[in-house]
Amino acid sequence: MNSSDGIAEARQLPGPSPVPVPVPDAPGRLPVLGHLVQLGRRPLDFFQSLRAQGPVVRIGFGPKPAYVVNDPDLIRRVFVNDASDYDKGVFWEKVREFVGDGLASVSSGEFHLQQRRQMQPAFHRKQIARYAEIMSACLTERAESWQPGQAVSMDDEMQQTALTLVARTFFSSHLGQEAAHALEESFPTVQDGIIKRTLAPLGLMEKLPTPANRRFTAAMRNIWESCERAVDDYRATGADGGDLMSMLIHATDPDTGDSMSDRLIRDQVITIALSGRDTTANALAWTMYQLSRRPDVADRVAAEVRATIGDRPANLDDLMALDYTGRVAKEVFRLYAFWLLIRSTVKDVTLGGVPIPANTQVLVSPIAMHRDPSIYEDPLSLDPDRWLPGRAEKIPRNAYFVFGAGNRQCIGDRYAWTAVMLGLAAIAPRWELRPVPGTEVTEVAKVSVSPSGLPLRVVPRAMP
């Protein structure tokens, strides 16, 4: 036996089992309901309160235990190092009932990896540059539609803007105009319906013949059927319209050469729209909110955009030169990241010395970590300069966790970043945004954190 064989054999010898670390239980657990009341009423405050409890905290997810992971390095283990030990959580399992086998909703494994390989070219830099041209035109058009002194309901405005971005980047070709219109017309009903059905504890209400359920069913059918007709038209011509639908039609697995079925393409449209519209809309709305509260930041963004780009619409290459504006966008994503990501253990695991059984939900709150004063100095303040060299190095490596990580990291992260940067470039040089007196903006936990009640008065920015 050589020395390497001896080392390998020694490594396999049984040793003492690690002593389990006591896991703290979150206070306020109720019989049967667990902590669902806190999760339903004030979820952001609830997860923030758990930061002080320890790196891993046990909560009641209804009658079953679940574990909240607070430590950045342990979070990386869940999403990257030991990702094969975890699958998507209960949220996407329920979403899959309505949207099918899209990339975000399908279970981990070979099918998921195949989809990611097929779809990755649709989000490469060259393709994002094509989407950026569409986005820039849409955002400029939106900014030019406002009237001086107008109070713009920015939360509603950015929801509609984001939906227009999704529809036009999906279907910019004339072949997809019907599907683009269906997406803009029906998707708000679909999104609200899916969220309500996913959060419903018993799953009974959607089976009743109520007007709301009939509207949801009709809206889903409208999107499905129009997408299916668009797939037929795109396949019949074989043309590349420069849009996401063209990319999906021509997408193949580089390892096997397999292409997507018509139904799978339809499912991708729904799942990408579900995650992409909400994330982009909220990021844009919160960006406008911060510009209205921080005129000093808005002035610097406007000056940088004017000096770098001038009066023309921005493109993707321009964004690389906007250093300060990029740090503003990074701060917005930090402050208003996803409020909850869920994974489910596929086998018994140990996290931070805490044993967690198979088929247990593991919860991570990026927004709670990003607002932790032990990690970020003055965490609730928008501070673009915290990302300057010399300060950024003080932030733990795994403590910025906006779009997930590993093989289930959001494939559209660059898309969302591009939309926010283009929004800053289109709006900040044109308009000063001012709060409307007497209004209060609240944070609402949906897919991501949404603003509720965000009227801003737009005033033409003076030329320098």
- Report pLDDT digits (tens) over 194-208: 877 776 655 556 677
Nearest CA-CA partner of 412 in 220, 188, 166, 97: 166
Instruction: Calculate mean pLDDT across residues 78-103.
Output: 83
Does the model's pTM come out above 0.95? no
Query: Directed axis angle between helix 262-293 and helix 177-199, to 10°?
Result: 80
Measured CA to CA, the distance from residue 248 to residue 264 in angstroms comes to 9
pLDDT in tens, 46-74: 999 999 999 999 999 889 999 999 999 99
Comparing 112 with 6, the larger pLDDT belongs to: 112
> Which of 6-10, 70-74, 173-177, 247-251 has the lowest average pLDDT?
6-10
Would the pLDDT of 263 be above 60? yes
Q: Write down the pLDDT at residue 200.
A: 60
Which residues lie closer than 8 Å to 37 by C-beta, 6 or more apart? 30
Give the mean model confidence (pLDDT) for residues 377-388: 97
Residue 5 banded pLDDT, cuts 50, 70, 90: very low
138 is in an annotated binding site: no
Q: Rounded distance, CA 128 to CA 316, Å?
A: 8
What tokens does 279 get?
Answer: 């994330």
Cβ pair 348, 356 in contact under 8 A = yes
pLDDT tens for each residue of 214-254:
999 999 899 889 888 888 888 888 777 788 888 888 888 88
Domains and CATH numbers, the chain: 20-100+338-401 (1.10.630.10)
Terminal CA-to-CA distance of the chain, rounded, Å?
79
Contacts of 264 (CB under 8 A, 6+ apart): 100, 101, 102, 115
pLDDT at 1: 41
Per-residue confidence at 419, pLDDT binned at 50, 70, 90? very high
Among 110, 109, 117, 101, CA closest to 267: 101
> Which helix (H) or strand (E) is 450 found in, with range?
strand 449-452
